[in-house]
Chain A
Amino acid sequence: MSAETMEKTSYKVPIGPIHPALKEPVMFEFELDGERIQNADVYLGHVHRTIEWTGMRRNPIQILYLAERICGICSYCHPMSFALAVERIAGIEVPDRAEYLRVVHAELERICSHTLWAGVAAHEIGFDSVLFLTWQVREKALDLTEYLTGNRVTKAITMIGGVRRDITKEMVPKIEETVTFLKNHFEKLKKIFLDDKTFQMRSQGCGILSKKEALQLCAVGPTTRASGVKKDVRIDQPYFAFGELDFDYVTPDILTDEINGDVYDRIIVRLLEVKQSIDLIEQCVEQLTGMPEGDIVAEPKIAKLLNQLKKIEGEGIGRMEAPRGEVIHYVKMNKKEHPYSWKVRAPTYSNILPWIPMLKGEQIADIPIVAASTDPCMSCTNRVGIIKNGNKAILSNEELHRLSVEKTRRLMQ
């Protein structure tokens, strides 16, 4: 070897748009130095479906079903936020029974979403049997959803001014049976995720987002609560019947007395939220059985409702806490059948920019678990392209997942 200095250059790795760890198409470009990430860049727009443009050409009832298909997991929050915005413009008052019913469905969706996420996180770390165990618990929650609304995922239970189906006395025993099942299995899941040494080794100290960065980048949802910021639309600006119920912000120091903002903290926050949701459903069902039978929607005749909505004018905002964060819809109506303007902001769009500080300094094998820990909601992918000194090599889905699993096996020895 001569005494000339060798120059070290970093090489750029584009990951995406189709990628293993994210169940959504997003394009990253990483600048690597060996196995450590030095810088990251994010590109979006691969599943742009012109939903807002389509919505401006339909009447409000049709927009409810269009909004439901923006996302499969937050398929309850988008039509509900739209309905909240339109109700605030039109001045429609929602009956009390409908407010409690809306809470039950929102919390049920939160349980389904967080258990799905827990299974995906376990799969990325390498424990496939935990994936199937978690999804078995989720099946019971989905069965309850099918019983209450008619379908497992696209619930179609929103109506402007209330809900479409009631919870009668005959349905209550099935709800109680499912809630008991979930409570019993929750303790088992908590022990597996939080007390297992491998999960701890793999996720502690990894993908850290500090409190200052979380505030500046306006992160939302469990991602920001795990960094210590107390932000939750259900408590800050209560909607539906959340103002009446008894619950508090979920931050990691409830369980471990310290806040690090890493992947382990995010697991803690999501599992504790599942417990909180089960508790909220119990409180609501108790209130519902105590209330007399009443209306579930402000205006039952839909033709009359459409005529009423044709005459309103103004602008309104609807905000809700989806499982992933804050959903906000802005609607402007001007006395026509179609809205003049409609803007949707799904929570992941605020959680994308925090990926950049989270991924700096991490290894390539940690990309799946860190990206999956923020629970992105865009769509699915499968390839990674690596450019190394001008030679291209393509890592497939299996390869990147294999890298992540191999790191786990190394840590276990």
Chain B
Amino acid sequence: MTTSKKLLPDEIITSFKDEFSDKILDSRIEKHPIGPKKTDMIQLWFTLDRSIFKDAVKHLMKLDKKAHFSVSSGYDIEDRIEIIHHFSIYTGTKGDEISINFTVPLPKNDPTIDSISDLIPGALISEQEKQEMLGVKVKNIPKDTRVFISEDFPEDMYPWRKDEKNVDSMARNLHEPSSKNVSEEKKENADEKEEKQ
């Protein structure tokens, strides 16, 4: 049975805390005033333990069966990787939408997380992207291929990371304007023109 009543932000946080007690590591409400009349835009941020991540998504879908998954972003910081999933609920009426974000910290020596593609099929491309960009392993993902990076990219290098596995060594600066380059190129162009004539 799904509840069709819309909960207030505090009530949403209480319902999560009642269900999962201490596995919710942190939660906060952010209200931003928008527009000339300064109406509030509400965002909820949760930090969850990875063991309850999939159950938390199921609980969210109970609050609103039309929950919308936008994208998942991530970064690495010190010795852990943090993945953030951005959802939003209560679409369909003016001004009611609330953004909900789940942050899941993963240790770098074991970066595994559950897949939610069976609950929300639209999350497939985001999960594939996290695998190739950050080195996260998603359990039970339906399609385990690379999505944005080509197949012949080296295996152990992750573009978004800032530690030793990053790709700075592969970056090339294709052009730097400086007077030295300009005079060399002009000489080359002048030689080519002479040869042609």
Contacts and interface: CB of A to CB of B under 8 A. Distances in A.
Do A's and B's CB atoms come within 8 Å in the complex? yes
A353 B120 CA distance: 12
Contacts of A229: 66
A330 B159 contact: no
B196 interface: no
Contacts of A93: 33
Interface size for chain A: under 10, 10 to 19, 20 to 34, or 35 or more residues? Answer: 35 or more
A240 B146 contact: no
Contact of A330 (B86, B92, B147, B148): B86
A240 to B, nearest CB: 7
Which secondary structure characterizes the binding site on chain B?
Answer: mixed
Residue of B30, B88, B122 ringed by the most chain A CB atoms within 10 A: B122
Interface string A231-244: 10101111111111
Interface stretch (B7-15, B19-27, B36-44): B36-44
A161 B25 CA distance: 33
A243 B35 contact: yes
Interface size for chain B: under 10, 10 to 19, 20 to 34, or 35 or more residues? Answer: 35 or more
Contacts of B167: 53
A343 interface: yes
A216 B122 contact: yes
Interface in B119-176: 120-125, 146-150, 159-160, 167
Interface string A305-331: 000000000000101000000101010
30 contacts: A44-B125, A48-B148, A50-B159, A53-B167, A88-B32, A215-B66, A217-B121, A217-B122, A218-B120, A218-B123, A229-B66, A236-B97, A237-B41, A239-B35, A242-B35, A243-B34, A317-B99, A328-B70, A328-B71, A330-B86, A340-B77, A341-B73, A341-B160, A343-B71, A345-B70, A345-B71, A349-B125, A350-B70, A352-B125, A353-B124
Interface of A: 43-45, 48, 50, 52-53, 88, 93, 96, 99-100, 215-219, 229-231, 233, 235-244, 317, 319, 326, 328, 330, 332, 340-341, 343, 345, 349-350, 352-353
